[in-house]
Amino acid sequence: MNKKSNKGKKIPQSQSVISWNHDQIELLDILQRPLLKKFPEMGRTLSKSVSFVVKEHEHAILLKNGEFVSEMPSGTYELDKESRKIGTEIIYFETAIQNIPWGIPQNNGIRTKDGFLIGMYGEIKVRIHNAISFYKYVIGGLETWTIGELKQWIKSLLHTSLREIYAKYELKNIFQEDSETVMNKMTAKMIEESNLYGLIIESFCVLGYKASEEANQYIDSNQTTSLQKYQFSEKIQQKKYQDQEIIQNRIASLEKRRNDLQDQCLDTSISKDDYEMRICLLSRFLKESKNELELLMKKQDNH
């Protein structure tokens, strides 16, 4: 695969140059806009294509028979005869910065060290910088992927990444004493995790928090009586049992998805490579959920 310049060179009418046309995409709702485009389209080949153009704010990856060959930044690339045969695919990725609002509801939020559930919302600016890693570990070989699906994936990543940070701080520390430290750790954790999946975070911010009425009372009170402490403890314990049910339902859902994926691999609905990419990510979320459930049950036993 050679990068070339077409300056002063005409392409014969019987041959074509591949490029991703974004004109119709701009008409879609932002969450429905695709982040990738695969060539050739269903039922077609690259036999009449001599080259492909990767525009600014795009990356492309070349696959031959399901194997990654290379990743290309913006430029014009020549397709040799071998690359025009059946089995060659070119996948374009939108690498412009995406401004994505996110939110974690309070009833399924992040738990603090002293047992309060905190919801939050904010904005994240993110872009794809390693298309191969993003395709393998996030998309899992799927044909389509939208900004809306990226938003949902980021929400899941936020939940798993921030849980271990908040578990180390009590409610008053998060909102008062160590608020800047917590925010810095959140940002660093999200940057670290996103980079593993081929993403770069340009900015990350929390615009607000959503706490229960009991949590707000706890934050505002300068002194807490023994009776209030007991009431708080009882309510926290009730929430922990509710959380246990939520986590158990999440584990059941993940195990069902894992079994469905195994069935798809057995009946060859998906390739072995696709199966391994998806099962890797699914197994990670399943392991983290089981660890979270085990930790929660241990805390309940200690009370």
Threshold 0.85, pTM exceeds: no
pLDDT of residue 229: 42
Residues 6+ apart with CB under 8 A from 12: none
Region at 221 (left for phi over 0; alpha for psi -120 to 50; beta for the rest) = beta
Strand 117-128 relative to strand 110-111: parallel, antiparallel, unpaired? antiparallel
pLDDT of residue 289: 77
User: CA angle, 187 as apex, 185 and 190 as ends, to 5°?
Assistant: 105
pLDDT of residue 47: 76
Whether the pLDDT of residue 7 is over 50: the answer is no
CA distance 132 to 110: 31
CA distance 273 to 292: 29
The pLDDT-based confidence of 275 (bands split at 50, 70, 90) is confident
Across the chain, the runs of DSSP E, i.e. the strands, are 2-4, 16-18, 36-39, 49-54, 58-64, 67-72, 75-78, 88-94, 98-104, 110-111, 117-128, 199-211
Residues 6+ apart with CB under 8 A from 83: 1, 46, 62, 64
SS3 298: helix
CA distance 258 to 19: 36
The pLDDT-based confidence of 259 (bands split at 50, 70, 90) is confident
Of the listed ranges 131-135, 188-192, 213-217, the least confidently predicted one is 213-217
Residues 6+ apart with CB under 8 A from 223: none
Strand 16-18 relative to strand 49-54: parallel, antiparallel, unpaired? parallel
Q: Which residues pair with 118 in a beta bridge?
A: 110, 211
